[in-house]
Amino acid sequence: MTMPVPASTASAPSAPVATDHVSIAAFAFGPTTITVKPGTTVTWTQQDEDQHTVTANDGSFTSSPLVTGTTYTHTFTAPGTYAYHCSIHPFMHGTVVVTNG
């Protein structure tokens, strides 16, 4: 197994995408940043051969290690910005932005 080198941290952050689905592929969350409304359930789908987790930076949610083809869901009830990462591969990051608008 060869892990890819993470993209440069100097690059500009991606614009939020309005969706409730995030793929886990090629050691990355995609899209990296999503925007949802309160009450939305977000689904992460694991597509890599290696296991990954979806773990909130603040500890408010976490998945067990996900194997290929499995999913994890979390419902976001309050507005805010929720940063998360993979606890197995800490260079993998994502963000869910919950807005009222």
pLDDT at 15: 73
End-to-end CA distance of the chain: 43
Query: What SS3 class is residue 44?
Result: strand
Q: Within 10 A of 52 (CB to CB), how many other CB atoms are there? A: 27
Residue 4 maps to a domain? no
Task: Tell whether the model's pLDDT for residue 5 goes beyond 50.
Answer: no
pLDDT at 4: 52
* Band of residue 6 on the pLDDT scale cut at 50, 70, 90: very low
Task: Tell whether the model's pLDDT for residue 11 goes beyond 80.
Answer: no
Residue 10 maps to a domain? no
Residue 1 maps to a domain? no
Q: pLDDT tens digit string along 29-72?
A: 999 999 999 999 999 999 999 999 999 999 999 999 999 999 99
Task: Tell whether the model's pLDDT for residue 81 goes beyond 50.
Answer: yes
Please provide the size of the chain in residues.
101
Residue 27 sits in which domain range?
19-98
Residue 7 maps to a domain? no
Task: Tell whether the model's pLDDT for residue 17 goes beyond 90.
Answer: no
C-alpha closest to that of 55 among 39, 69, 72:
72
Q: Which amino acid is at 46?
A: Q
pLDDT at 26: 98
Mean pLDDT of 10-19: 65
Say how many domains are in the chain. Answer: 1
Separation between Cα atoms, residue 26 and residue 79, nearest integer Å: 29
Residue 61 maps to a domain? yes
Task: Read off the CATH number of the domain in which 33 is found.
Answer: 2.60.40.420
